[in-house]
Amino acid sequence: MKNGYFITGTDTDVGKTWATVTLMHYFKQQGRTVAAMKPVASGCLWQNGQWQNADALLLQQHASLPLDYALINPYAYELPVSPHLAGVANPVDLNTVIERFNAMQTQAEVLLVEGAGGWYSPINAGQDNSDLAMALQLPVLLVVAIRLGCINHAKLTYRAIIASGLCCAGWLAVCNDAEVLLGQETVATIAAALPTPLWGVLPFQAVADFERLAREVRRLGTDELTG
Nearest Cα to Cα of residue 143 among 224, 51, 217, 79: 217
Q: Where are the beta strands (DSSP E) in the chain?
A: 3-9, 34-37, 40-41, 45-47, 50-52, 75-76, 110-118, 140-145, 168-174, 198-202
Which sign, positive or negative, has the C-alpha torsion 51, 174, 28, 113? negative
Q: Which residues are catalytic?
A: 38
Cα separation, 114 vs 41, whole angstroms: 10
Q: What are phi and psi of 178, to 5 degrees?
A: -65, -20
Cα separation, 116 vs 41, whole angstroms: 6
- How many helices (H) and strands (E) would you count in the chain? 10, 10
> Which residues, at least 6 apart from 38, have a Cβ–Cβ distance to it below 8 Å?
17, 53, 55, 56, 59, 72, 73, 113, 114, 116
Could you tell me where the DSSP H helices lie in 66-149?
69-72, 83-86, 94-105, 129-136
